[in-house]
A and B are shown apart, each in its own frame.
Chain A
Amino acid sequence: MTKYTDQGKNDTRSGYGAGMTELGRTNPNVVALCADLVGSLKIQTFIDENPDRFFQIGIAEANMMGIAAGLTIGGKIPFTGTFANFSTGRVYDQIRQSIAYSGKNVKICASHAGVTLGEDGATHQILEDIGLMKMLPGMVVINPCDYNQTKAATIAIADYEGPVYLRFGRPKVANFTPVDQKFEIGKAVLLSEGTDVTIVATGHLVWESLLAAEALEQQGISAEVINIHTIKPLDAEAVLKSVQKTGCVVTAEEHNYLGGLGESISRVLATQYPAPQEFVATNDTFGESGTPDQLMEKYGLNNKAVVKAVLKVLERK
């Protein structure tokens, strides 16, 4: 299989911050909004360099979404920033009416998604956001896997006209995709070719899936690993091409199995190429306090869980 090297652990939210810094320098229409979480979203450099294009909204996420919608009227490209929980569930109707239905060019950028937010616990750990956002007509949903890819995605979505949900996280994780990569919205990335099983992963689970593929190789199992950074629109063609070759699939995400990437893949397979599928995802549950590693272990979201799911799906081929 193709080997990847961790260039040094980093957090995806810092990738967002770096992307915003670059956008601040290159795109005068980009404006940033934040609901009292500047430090967490890593956008201080953007603010320092573009004070007139930053809006500190305070702890008022509903107002932030509405203001972002309004800023598009006049040609601005607003990037809102807060935790994933407060970027979605808390303000769903504001997003639905003022942004999605109104077709506004707002980039909803959400940090601290999933259980890897860690010690703050379930009040802040949303595991439903992908489902919430992908259900909104016209909403693009992106969950990049590492620092480099998050930076590239941040820059790329500024050039896309329409509402986007960009989901990233808190912990420092392996940074293994190319520096200054070209990010293509809606285009799956084939990371490693294989013949026995397709592993389709998003976000933090992509690296875990690569680790799982290495472990499986030791057992003589050839896994194909696909990074689906864009959950909507889904690159169904890439998934079908792979599953037609391997005959089964494991989906992996830091999200509830209800409403997540896995269900999007299930629909593609059910309507076009029925094949066995196993889900690495949370099982209709809330999270809890703990370290990111402890939580990924407890909720079955690490490379060991991926290996287990692969062995299970292979039995069903």
Chain B
Amino acid sequence: MSTQKIAITFEANKSDSYNMPELSKLQDLVSQTRRDILRMVHKVNSGHPGGSLGCTEFFVALYHELMELKDGFDMDGNGEDLFFLSNGHISPVYYSVLSRRGYFPVEELNTFRLIDSRLQGHPTTHEGLPGIRIASGSLGQGMSVAIGAALAKKLNNDDHLIYSLHGDGELQEGQNWEAIMYAAGNKVDNLISTIDVNGKQIDGATDDVLPLGDLKAKFEAFGWDVLEISEGNNLEAILTGMNEAKSRTGKGKPVCVLLQTMMGNGVDFMMHTHAWHGKAPNDEQLENALSQNAETLGDY
């Protein structure tokens, strides 16, 4: 675990009651998940490693610490927290974390993007993969779905939370802003929508493709409670920040987390560039990348 200072831009004292878990176990999961991602995309020479690596710590924290989950899987998900991935192209991290959380055998990661696989290029319910509740990949649709699931929870008097993740570039899709307006206007306060702010999309920097402007101000102007996690690849920062986000639910506002991440995190040559958004490493690059991430829990 990095000992560098954690910069969190909200008042940290609100989270005093949270007991930080043993981080080494989560860190092992992060390292193993990175290996899974790299090996999955390498095998089929396709897929999206950059955003997956950038969100690895977030997914591990979410599924192994933050979310309250039942054993097994049913589509309705009553009595547990639910997660929706809107930017479905980062399926490698999703699949790896779901399998290592026990939703399906880790060996199945071998089938990623292959014919007859449940692990489609983008996540889908169509092949019945446990853990997935909606297809995503055509961007901009996940927040609406998350809101619907949040409304169902309220109707069912189920006080569990809905989490969602969205790319920052994805916010260029207009449907998001319909959803953002709706959630605030209707006090959907059992929803925590996280934006993966890595500043990059396929064609380059978001600032060059279509500037997103001040996302915090925009969400706040729409009526959301916004908090920022400026070290979105630091487990401790994520856990502290997301627990703060949880504490802000149920107060009449949907909660937005702006999670600043590094695309390609954990593999030096994949960082500080958008080149690995949708490109797989070759044999040599894979070897190099794996050498930077220890096999902690056994490769699939």
Contacts and interface: CB of A to CB of B under 8 A. Distances in A.
Partners in one complex: yes
Interface of A: 31, 52-53, 55, 57-58, 60, 62-76, 78, 93-94, 96-98, 101-104
A101 B78 CA distance: 22
A163 B87 CA distance: 24
B178 A60 contact: yes
Given A63-B144, A70-B134, 6 more contacts: A60-B178, A63-B179, A98-B134, A98-B141, A102-B126, A102-B135
A97 B135 CA distance: 6
Nearest to B188: A67
Contacts of A78: 148
4 tightest A-B CB contacts, nearest first: A70-B148, A66-B144, A74-B152, A63-B178
A104 B77 CA distance: 14
Contacts of A64: 144
A71 to B, nearest CB: 4
Given A63-B175, A75-B78, A101-B124, A70 B136 contact: no
Contacts of B149: 70-71, 73-74
B144 A103 contact: no
B124 A73 contact: no
A103 B125 contact: yes
Interface string B163-202: 0000000000011001101100110000000000000000
12 contacts: A57-B182, A63-B179, A66-B175, A67-B182, A70-B134, A73-B82, A74-B153, A93-B138, A98-B144, A101-B124, A101-B126, A102-B135
Given A53-B155, A70-B152, A74-B77, A62 B144 contact: yes
B134 A73 contact: yes
A78 B141 CA distance: 17
Nearest to A66: B144
Contacts of A101: 124-126, 135
A66 B152 contact: no
A55 B154 CA distance: 13
Given A98-B134, A102-B125, A103-B126, A73 B75 contact: yes
Contact of B147 (A31, A62, A67): A67
Contacts of A71: 148-149, 151-152
B146 to A, nearest CB: 6
A138 to B, nearest CB: 10
Contacts of B82: 73
B151 A70 contact: yes
A62 B77 contact: no
Given A31-B155, A60-B182, A102-B124, A73 B136 contact: no
A73 B135 contact: no
Given A60-B182, A94-B175, A97-B136, A66 B148 contact: yes
Most chain-A Cβ atoms within 10 A of its Cβ — which of B137, B143, B152, B181?
A: B152
Contacts of A103: 125-126
Given A63-B179, A93-B138, A74 B124 contact: no
Contacts of A72: 148, 152
A103 B151 CA distance: 19
Contact of B134 (A31, A62, A63, A102): A102
Contacts of A66: 141-145, 147-148, 175, 179
Contacts of A69: 134, 144-145, 148
Contact of B175 (A58, A62, A96): A62
B57 to A, nearest CB: 26
B138 A70 contact: no
Contact of A97 (B78, B133, B138, B181): B138
Contacts of A31: 155
A62 B173 CA distance: 11
Contacts of A73: 75-77, 82, 133-134, 145, 148-149, 152
Contacts of A70: 84, 134, 144-152
Contacts of B78: 74-75
Nearest to A78: B148
A53 B133 CA distance: 22
A31 B149 CA distance: 13
Interface string B112-141: 000000000000111000000111111011
B158 interface: yes
A33 to B, nearest CB: 9
A73 B144 CA distance: 12
Nearest to B82: A73
B204 to A, nearest CB: 25
B138 to A, nearest CB: 5
B181 A60 contact: yes
Interface string B52-83: 00000000000000000000000111100010
Contacts of B134: 69-70, 73, 98, 102, 104
B19 interface: no
A53 B151 CA distance: 10
Contacts of B175: 62-63, 66, 94
Contacts of B148: 66-73, 78
Nearest to A71: B148
Most chain-B Cβ atoms within 10 A of its Cβ — which of A31, A65, A97?
A: A97
Given A66-B148, A66-B179, A103-B126, A97 B155 contact: no
A75 B152 contact: yes
A72 B76 CA distance: 8
B217 to A, nearest CB: 22
